[in-house]
Chains A and B, each alone.
Chain A
Amino acid sequence: MRLIFIALLLISSAGQAADCLLRGTGDLGIIIERAAGSLKVVDTTHRKELFRVKGLGDLSHASAVYSRDARYAYIFGRDGGLSKVDLLCGRLVKRVVQGGNSIGGAISQDGRLIAVSNYEPGGVKLFSAETLDLVADIPATQTPKGKGAKTVGLVDAPGQRFVFGLYDTHEIWVLDMSNPQAPQLTRFKDAGLQPYDGLITPDGRYYIAGLFGEDGLTLLDLWHLEKGPTRILSHYGKGKQQLPVYKMPHLEGWAVAGDQTFLPAIGHHEVLVVNRNSWQATGRIPVYGQPVFAIARPDGRQVWVNFAFPHNDTIQVIDTETLKVIKTLKPGKGALHMEFSPRGEEVWISIRDQDLVKIFDTATLKQIGSLPADKPSGIFFTARAHKTGL
């Protein structure tokens, strides 16, 4: 009897192991299905789906980061859910609802901490990457209405730090988690009106916050915190009527090519070209609508741009040498997100209203494949696991 029992146990655990894949994860990725609260695990080499993982809650504004072994994805959902998904087994490992309304997250330099930024109640919470147990809670400054300010633009930075903005109180905070028991906060007040998103340069040195409330951006040199934040590109939209913004731009994904960087201009149909030594605008490229993402192909030769409603059926490709739009693609309504393969020969674009992810060859600029997905939004490949700020 006992023997049979043990044999059964062996069979069932063997069965479980067989569900998991024995392979590397370097060419895997996830596609967020925003309406269904699910995601797809995909193999980018064979352009096929491996698993579908459900039960991730409200993913209307989801983002994801990867563990440093690139086996686990951490997904931050709108409903405050933080989910840990095992790519090799196609399984939700753990899910905690950590706050009322979250907007994004980051993983620490050493991969041990997950930070989540929240709108309501505003603040940042830190969790063990392994267990998702709460490690620290950093509430935001109270607004006059008695609520914590919305925290935005959270990124990881070298030195086991995190950097983020406070939308309602116009601050930027640097959180040092070198000692998880004693978080160290550096607060910068008057850091620019209504920061709505932020990015960090790939070397981890500069944090840049986009501002909704004023023309320009805020720059913080993380090598020299004593200098504090400075304004750059003030009045870049001067003399021009700012248009209503139907979708807030995203600053994630630093588009850099040589000395030039490319940023979506808020409230204008333009991509800004900025010199990254002087932080001066050296050009503006007229585009089809208000840019949401401006993302460089990994080799820096092209920048791909998508647009806010009502122009979100279009993608434009900019040649970074001539600073001209070389291609206007019409992949379909709801072209929400783009992700390049690690070395840039392909880009995957989610087309929400067609329930498709379309794959383009970045040399010929032609579609070479597609994958079905239910109202796809964010696409995240595991190459992000080893990049600061992603």
Chain B
Amino acid sequence: MVGAALALFTLAGIADSAVARKTEILHLLKHDCGSCHGMTLQGGLGPSLRPERLRLFSEAQLAIVILHGRPGTPMPPWKPFLTEQEALWLAGLLKKGIEP
């Protein structure tokens, strides 16, 4: 991922800030998503976000849940803190499986 980011951006400054942002999002995933989904994403008040469980969702569907939440449940919308691209990237990581 880091490699891809570096390749994409020729300006070192932009690459650095992109990498820093990804670190920030991973931190958010571990600690803030983790407070409901478990720090290892095995589930808590919210369901497990391990790839086995997310198989039936597409990345786009997951990104929509992340951005808009699920009204009527404790899953909050993360739109104020994540862009669409970032949510898609996160959804991709979840589907692939990540140990934050």
Contacts and interface: CB of A to CB of B under 8 A. Distances in A.
A246 B38 contact: no
A287 B45 CA distance: 26
A61 B76 contact: no
A35 B35 CA distance: 12
Contacts of B74: 196, 212, 245, 248
Contacts of B40: 58, 60, 78-79
Contacts of B77: 244
Contact of B76 (A101, A196, A245): A245
Contact of A35 (B36, B38, B39): B39
A196 B38 contact: no
Nearest to B43: A101
Interface string B45-87: 1000000000000000000000001000010110001000000
A81 B39 CA distance: 14
Interface string A103-119: 10000000000000001
Contacts of A309: 32
Nearest to A213: B72
Interface size class on chain B is 10 to 19
Contacts of B81: 310
Contact of B35 (A60, A167, A196, A310): A60
Contacts of B43: 101, 119-120
A148 interface: no
Contacts of B35: 60-61, 247-248
Contacts of A196: 45, 74
B22 interface: no
Contact of B39 (A34, A167, A246, A247): A34
A60 B32 contact: no
Contacts, number: 57
Interface residues of A, number: 24
Nearest to B47: A120
A334 interface: yes
A101 to B, nearest CB: 6
A161 interface: no
Interface in A48-70: 58, 60-61
B44 A352 contact: no
A150 interface: yes
Main secondary structure of the interface of A (DSSP, over half): loop
B44 A101 contact: yes
Interface hub of A34, A61, A244, A248 (most chain B Cβ within 10 A):
A244
A101 B39 contact: no
Interface in A175-193: none
B45 A78 contact: no
A245 B74 CA distance: 7
A244 B69 contact: yes
Given A60-B34, A60-B38, A78-B39, A244 B76 contact: yes
Contacts of A119: 43-45
Nearest to B77: A244
Given A34-B39, A60-B38, A246 B76 contact: yes
Interface in A230-245: 244-245
Given A150-B45, A196-B45, A244-B69, A58 B38 contact: yes
B42 A103 contact: no
Interface in A159-211: 167, 196
Contacts of A61: 35, 38-39, 44
Interface string A62-97: 000000000000000011000000000000000000
Contacts of A60: 34-35, 38-40, 44
Contacts of A248: 35-36, 45, 74
Contacts of B32: 246-247, 309
Contacts of B42: 58, 78-79, 101
11 contacts: A58-B42, A78-B39, A78-B44, A79-B40, A101-B38, A101-B42, A212-B74, A246-B32, A246-B76, A247-B36, A310-B81
Given A34-B39, A78-B40, A310-B81, 8 more contacts: A60-B34, A60-B39, A78-B42, A101-B44, A212-B74, A244-B77, A246-B32, A248-B45
Interface of A: 34-35, 58, 60-61, 78-79, 101, 103, 119-120, 150, 167, 196, 212, 244-248, 309-310, 334, 352
